[in-house]
């Protein structure tokens, strides 16, 4: 066994990969990690792979090229409502335990990529709760301050990562279970678009709303794991393919973000978090965002449906036979909540479906104003003692900013924001429409590097890492415009109505003649490429969803069309071109090199 002083001091993917390239063997690392996990005092684990089996898995990689597998020798934890062949699945209830013959689809994908699981992580029983105290295996203690809750239900999954025992972990997130523990343990928590990670082999909570979540030390790591774990599963009725996401949040690209109105922000008496959230708003502004205050009422009304409506019946449905036969085996608070789901009627279910449709229409209207929304992840951070004394009310508070997410089919990433004066972490959540997972992770990476906070509870600094890649095409096309579609001119609405955004002002290569065409309104120019005697023309480049491009092109009248325009930097981009026959009666304005300049010369537009 290698001296532990030679082991990596942090387990982010970039550092671990470098250690393997420099000669570290997986068996050396995993002997150390097994000992760490076995000595854990936070109640993070329910079961560990036997050391001999764990080391056998690691030794199988010892003589392989670390570059041969995307997650070569990466340690991870599996929430114990997700099947891992070789260990029982308990869902936090010993009497419910069963031995799965196969690993869940998402686990199998990670194993095939070279990742190695240490074991099964603690959780709020049957994934019912956001606090981490509802487990017969012990209330999971916060990785930074053990008297405080870890957050749940994916409690052990978060604590194992924060404590430096694994590089990443799998949780589930139906109501906030992948975001609240991330915030309370200073981690990145990806709540992906529902269906992008298969839930086959996962004990359901609310099957129609469940999502497998990822906890990681960095946004780049979460993106890498997501890229491996994602994929359509024909054996999961709720699985779906990732769709083009439609935008990016790269540096230098402005965006608009929504925040709840000040009167709709809830911190439940906490005195530190309001100022920390305001500082988080300022940080997002420094990354290129413009804040827009939104009416958060529809989101809160949606959130009230999750436990105040018939979706609790899905929790009852998932374990109906077990809880009816062995009610005493279920944690008291979990039993009370779950049995309540058996009382919902079909009429109440349809009432709730109709309300949800109406709420979603109102909530989705926000995407006409903003590109993403920023909220606190949780209003306050209770102690374990306080949570156990008042389990229902305090757990409800924890869902204030999270319960609406899957009902509305949104994607979200929880990110660390600051440390409070009392040493507890404070986190925020970035959320956007479905399939925006990649852009959110890109922004989360920029956010994380702007905070320079340490990793989890390890005290280790954030590593330098390449920006995460989503692996999913963005589905956007760029088009260069030179006339009435320019910003502020009469036809610009044909772009903005199709959710296009301005990339920037450019110039064409000096190989075009420029004309003011006859006819109108609106007045229109024509660019014609020539072998000699051309000039550089002022243009703008806009980006719009590929799904909108056909209707945009379909509205362009002859003699104009869309072809390829060469820009000053030599690149080619879709742009307006003009048929030669359309130049009859046109005025040559090449010497001006600008449509705006020609408009000004004639006194208007």
Residue with tokens 């436990």, as numbered in its chain: 307
- Any catalytic annotation for residue 153? yes
- DSSP per residue over 475-537, as a string? -EEEEEE-STTSTTSTTTHHHHTTT-EEEEEEEB-S-EEEEE-SS-SSP-EEEEE-SSS-B--
Instruction: Provide the 3-class DSSP secondary structure of residue 216.
Output: strand
Separation of CA 415 from chain center: 10
Do the beta carbons of residue 163 and residue 44 sit within 8 Å? Answer: yes
Residues listed for the chain? 605
Do the beta carbons of residue 514 and residue 539 sit within 8 Å? Answer: no
Of the residues 47, 150, 153, 198, only one is catalytic, namely 153
The conformation of residue 419, written as its DSSP 8-state character, comes to: E
Of the residues 25, 27, 79, 167, only one is catalytic, namely 79
The conformation of residue 506, written as its DSSP 8-state character, comes to: E
DSSP bridge partners of 427: 416
Strand order in the sheet with 560-566: 501-507, 538-545, 476-481, 572-578, 560-566
Nearest to 290 by CA among 247, 264, 245, 259: 259
- Any catalytic annotation for residue 79? yes
Residue with tokens 């196969």, as numbered in its chain: 102
Of the residues 27, 177, 198, 470, only one is catalytic, namely 177
E strand or H helix at 227: helix 219-229
d(CA 176, CA 124): 12
E strand or H helix at 382: none
E strand or H helix at 85: none
Nearest to 265 by CA among 175, 407, 177, 375: 375
- Residues with catalytic roles: 79, 153, 177
């Amino acid at each position: 066994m290698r001296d532990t002083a030679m082991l990596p001091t942090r387990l982010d993917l970039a550092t671990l990969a470098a250690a393997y390239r420099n000669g570290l063997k997986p068996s050396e690392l995993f002997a150390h990690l097994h000992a760490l996990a076995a000595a854990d005092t936070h109640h993070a684990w329910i079961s560990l792979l036997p050391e001999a089996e764990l080391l056998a898995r690691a030794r199988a990689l010892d003589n392989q090229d670390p570059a041969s597998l995307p997650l070569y020798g990466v340690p991870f934890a599996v929430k114990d409502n997700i099947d891992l062949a070789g260990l029982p699945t308990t869902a936090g209830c010993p009497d419910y335990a069963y031995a799965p013959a196969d690993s869940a689809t998402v686990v199998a994908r990670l194993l095939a990529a070279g990742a190695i699981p240490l074991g099964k992580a603690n959780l709020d029983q049957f994934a019912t709760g956001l606090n981490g105290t509802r487990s017969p295996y012990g209330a999971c203690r916060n990785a930074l301050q053990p008297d405080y809750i870890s957050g749940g239900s994916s409690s052990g999954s978060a604590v194992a990562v924060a404590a430096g025992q694994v590089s990443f972990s799998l949780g589930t997130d139906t109501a906030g279970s992948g975001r609240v523990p991330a915030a309370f343990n200073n981690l990145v928590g990806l709540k992906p678009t529902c269906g992008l990670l298969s839930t086959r082999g996962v004990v359901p909570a609310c099957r129609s709303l469940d999502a497998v979540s990822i906890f990681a030390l960095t946004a780049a790591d979460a993106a890498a794991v997501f890229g491996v774990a994602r994929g359509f599963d024909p054996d999961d009725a709720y699985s779906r393919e990732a769709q083009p996401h439609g935008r990016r949040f790269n540096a230098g690209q402005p965006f608009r973000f929504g925040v709840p109105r000040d009167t709709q922000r809830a911190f439940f008496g906490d005195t530190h978090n309001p100022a920390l959230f305001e500082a988080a708003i300022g940080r997002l502004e420094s990354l290129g965002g413009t804040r827009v205050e939104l009416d958060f009422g529809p989101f809160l009304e949606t959130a009230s449906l999750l436990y105040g409506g018939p979706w609790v019946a899905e929790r009852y449905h998932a374990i109906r036979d077990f809880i009816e036969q062995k009610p005493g085996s279920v944690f008291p608070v979990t039993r009370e909540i779950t049995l309540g789901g058996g009382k919902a009627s079909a009429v109440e279910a349809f009432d709730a479906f109709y309300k949800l449709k109406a709420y979603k229409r109102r909530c989705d209207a926000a995407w006409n104003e903003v590109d993403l929304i920023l909220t606190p992840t949780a209003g306050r951070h209770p102690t374990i003692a306080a949570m156990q004394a008042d389990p229902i009310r305090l757990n409800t508070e924890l869902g204030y900013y999270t319960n609406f997410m899957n009902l509305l089919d949104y994607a979200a990433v929880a990110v660390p924001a600051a440390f409070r004066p009392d040493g507890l972490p404070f986190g925020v959540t970035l959320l956007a429409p479905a399939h925006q997972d990649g852009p959110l992770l890109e922004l989360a990476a920029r956010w994380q590097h702007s905070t320079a906070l340490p990793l989890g509870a390890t005290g280790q600094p954030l590593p330098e890492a390449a920006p995460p890649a989503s692996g999913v095409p963005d589905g956007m096309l760029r088009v260069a415009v030179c006339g009435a579609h320019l910003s502020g001119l009469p036809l610009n609405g044909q772009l903005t109505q199709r959710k296009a955004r301005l990339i920037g002002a450019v110039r064409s290569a000096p190989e075009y003649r420029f004309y003011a065409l006859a006819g109108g309104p609106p007045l229109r120019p024509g660019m014609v490429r020539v072998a000699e005697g051309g000039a550089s023309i002022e243009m703008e480049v806009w980006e719009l969803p590929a799904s909108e491009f056909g209707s945009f092109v379909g509205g362009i009248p002859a003699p104009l069309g869309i072809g390829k325009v060469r820009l000053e930097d030599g690149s080619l981009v879709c742009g307006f071109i003009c048929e030669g026959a359309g130049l009859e009666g046109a005025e040559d304005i090449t010497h001006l090199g600008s449509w705006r300049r020609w408009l000004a010369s004639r006194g208007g537009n």
